[in-house]
């Protein structure tokens, strides 16, 4: 990691270090001269002071945490490049040090495992929670961050539909219920009644006021759970390939009303297999779940013996796949029509499956909506499908100006 030399900060550290060292030496001399203080107490004090410096023995310069699969906090100078004071330096330094101190991951792993052992039924960590009976991890969504105004979202979607209708483009909006809604009996942190009500109001307003029917396949997914099928991974907030394929079928059957040459590709044309690890991203790599990595609790530690079903479409010869996080492109000579698939991380698994039916699929992950509008006008797709987890419904208000 490259960081600029901050003279003022360096001088401050030297002064503080000198004062601390002076105080320690002074206390040791005072203890030594006291008749009531034993050599054991002196050694204990010295050992304790030395122990405080252990976290600073090695500060990693890594950009990402391999175990957590996330970007680590970056160093921010006290004096900025334009010679101004960084008033958030304290907070910046705290985040930087907490991400990089010596033996950090060992300490966190010990802490999380200790909490797991001491709690009987439900374990609450900083960012995730774990139901020991259901053996399921949940991300701790803070409800205030995901509150939205159904009227505002419905009006925004109306602009999107009007834009598509004006340009002879078929469009659909698909909202997938988040994990703590589908498994709210197992997520003991809170009952997600607020999100359920907001979703119900959004669906109602969109239909009654604007004639927009948002696809919200909660009944089908709940039936999957009743049939002992996994909808979400136990250690991750994404949905399984089994759930993705079910939603894919519903999308294609609905789009077929306007695009008659479309058809659902049967499962027999997919390679089917099972794996205990999780796959949800554009690179198709198998990893541990997001919540699993955040809690340092892997499947073996949690005693999970789960294998998830996966579906890999066998693309024909001369197919093209160019997959990146922000944008992916699929060309399938056996498919029909051109599709724009827009949404969050849920689009990654869906793009590989829905590409079986389309001639072209352009996947955009949380794009700049103003640029997206221009791209749609330029590329003229046959259909645009907005495909979101209910966590990101707030993003749907970005159709302003369409």
* Number of domains, the chain: 2
Vertex 223 angle, CA 265 and 193, to 5°: 120
Report if pTM > 0.75: yes
pLDDT band for position 109 (cuts 50, 70, 90): confident
Q: Are residues 197 and 71 part of one domain?
A: no
Q: Are residues 262 and 151 part of one domain?
A: yes
Give tens-digit pLDDT for 209-267: 999 999 999 999 999 999 999 999 999 999 999 999 999 999 999 999 999 999 999 99
Token digits of residue 380 = 């003229």
pLDDT value at 158 more than 60: yes
Q: Are residues 156 and 11 part of one domain?
A: no
Give tens-digit pLDDT for 12-53: 666 776 666 666 666 666 655 655 666 776 677 777 777 777
* Residue 137 falls inside a structural domain: no
Give tens-digit pLDDT for 256-305: 999 999 999 999 999 999 999 999 999 999 988 888 888 887 667 777 88
Q: What's the domain range around 183? A: 146-399
Q: Are residues 151 and 80 part of one domain?
A: no
Structure confidence at residue 152 (pLDDT): 95
Q: Are residues 376 and 274 part of one domain?
A: yes
Structure confidence at residue 103 (pLDDT): 84
Q: Which residue has the tokens 């040791």?
A: 28
Average of pLDDT values for 57-77? 80
Q: Are residues 301 and 204 part of one domain?
A: yes
CA 281 to chain CA centroid, Å, is: 10
Q: Are residues 152 and 28 part of one domain?
A: no
* Residue 120 falls inside a structural domain: no
Token digits of residue 259 = 């695009």
* Residue 20 falls inside a structural domain: yes
* Residue 107 falls inside a structural domain: no
Average pLDDT of every residue of the chain? 87
Looking at mean pLDDT, say which of 1-5, 47-51, 154-158 comes out highest: 154-158
Average of pLDDT values for 363-378? 94
Vertex 272 angle, CA 266 and 277, to 5°: 135
* Residue 133 falls inside a structural domain: no
Q: Are residues 267 and 172 part of one domain?
A: yes
Q: Are residues 229 and 330 part of one domain?
A: yes
Q: Are residues 242 and 355 part of one domain?
A: yes
Query: Which one has a higher pLDDT value, 208 or 108?
Result: 208
Residue 361: CB atoms within 10 Å: 27
* Residue 131 falls inside a structural domain: no
Domain boundary among 87, 102, 117: 102
* Residue 135 falls inside a structural domain: no
pLDDT value at 145 more than 60: no
Query: Which one has a higher pLDDT value, 187 or 307?
Result: 307
Q: Are residues 25 and 153 part of one domain?
A: no
Q: Are residues 341 and 255 part of one domain?
A: yes
């Amino acid at each position: 990691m490259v960081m600029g030399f901050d003279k003022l900060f360096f001088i401050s550290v030297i002064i503080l270090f000198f004062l601390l060292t002076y105080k320690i030496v002074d206390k040791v001399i005072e203890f030594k001269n006291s008749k009531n203080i034993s050599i054991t107490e002196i050694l204990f004090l010295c050992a304790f002071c030395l122990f405080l410096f252990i976290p600073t023995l090695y500060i990693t310069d890594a950009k990402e945490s391999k175990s957590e699969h996330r970007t680590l906090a970056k160093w921010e100078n006290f004096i900025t490049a334009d010679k101004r004071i960084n008033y958030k330096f304290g907070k910046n330094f705290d985040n930087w040090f907490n991400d990089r101190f010596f033996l950090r991951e060992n300490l966190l792993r010990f802490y999380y495992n200790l909490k797991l052992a001491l709690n009987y039924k439900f374990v609450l960590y900083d960012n995730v929670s774990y139901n020991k009976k259901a053996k399921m991890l949940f991300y701790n969504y803070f409800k205030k961050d995901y509150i939205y105004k159904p009227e505002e979202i419905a009006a925004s979607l109306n602009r999107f539909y009007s834009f598509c209708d004006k340009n002879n483009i078929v469009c659909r909006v698909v909202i997938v219920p988040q994990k703590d809604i589908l498994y709210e009996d197992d997520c003991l942190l809170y009952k997600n009644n607020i999100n359920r009500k907001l979703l119900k109001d959004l669906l109602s307003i969109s239909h009654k006021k604007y004639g927009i029917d948002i696809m919200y396949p909660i009944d089908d997914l709940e039936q999957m759970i009743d049939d002992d099928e996994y909808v979400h991974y136990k250690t991750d907030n994404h949905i399984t390939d089994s759930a993705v394929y079910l939603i894919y079928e519903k999308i294609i059957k609905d789009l077929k009303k306007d695009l008659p040459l479309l058809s659902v590709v049967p499962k027999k044309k997919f390679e089917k297999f099972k794996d205990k690890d999780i796959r949800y991203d554009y690179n198709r790599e198998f990893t541990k779940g997001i919540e699993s990595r955040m809690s340092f609790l892997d499947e073996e530690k949690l005693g999970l013996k789960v294998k998830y079903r996966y579906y890999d479409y066998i693309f024909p010869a001369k197919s093209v796949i160019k997959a990146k996080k922000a944008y992916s492109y699929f060309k399938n000579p056996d498919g029909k029509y051109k599709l724009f698939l827009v949404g969050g991380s849920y689009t990654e698994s869906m793009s590989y499956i829905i590409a079986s039916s389309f001639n072209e699929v352009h996947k955009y992950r949380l794009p700049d909506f103003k640029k997206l509008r221009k791209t749609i006008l330029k590329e003229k797709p046959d259909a645009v499908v907005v495909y979101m987890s209910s966590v990101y419904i707030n993003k749907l208000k970005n159709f302003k100006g369409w």
